[in-house]
Amino acid sequence: MNNLTQIIQQYKADTESVYNTWFVDNDEYLGDEERNKFKKNILKRQKEIQEEKLAENLLN
C-alpha cells in the first residue's frame, strides 16, 4: 500500500496532471452536471470493486 500512496502523492504533486488541471479548483472544464455524473460513476465503480473483493474473499 505504501507504493500506492507514493504514486498518488506524486500524481497530485504534478501540476500538469489531469488531477490538477481538471479537478482541483477548476470549474472551467467540468460543469455541475458533468461533475455530478463523474462523481456518481466513481462511487459506482468503488462499490463494484468492493463487491468484487467481497466475492473474492468469500471464495477463498
pLDDT in tens, 12-47: 888 877 776 666 666 666 677 887 888 899 999 999
Provide the pLDDT for residue 48. 93
Domain that holds residue 24: 2-59
Res. 55: pLDDT tops 90: no
Domains: count for the chain? 1
Bigger pLDDT: 51 vs 30: 51
d(CA 60, CA 47): 20
Residue 5 has pLDDT above 80, yes or no: yes
- pLDDT attached to residue 8: 82
Report the alpha-carbon distance of residue 16 to residue 41 in Å, rounded.
24
Q: Which amino acid is at 18?
A: V
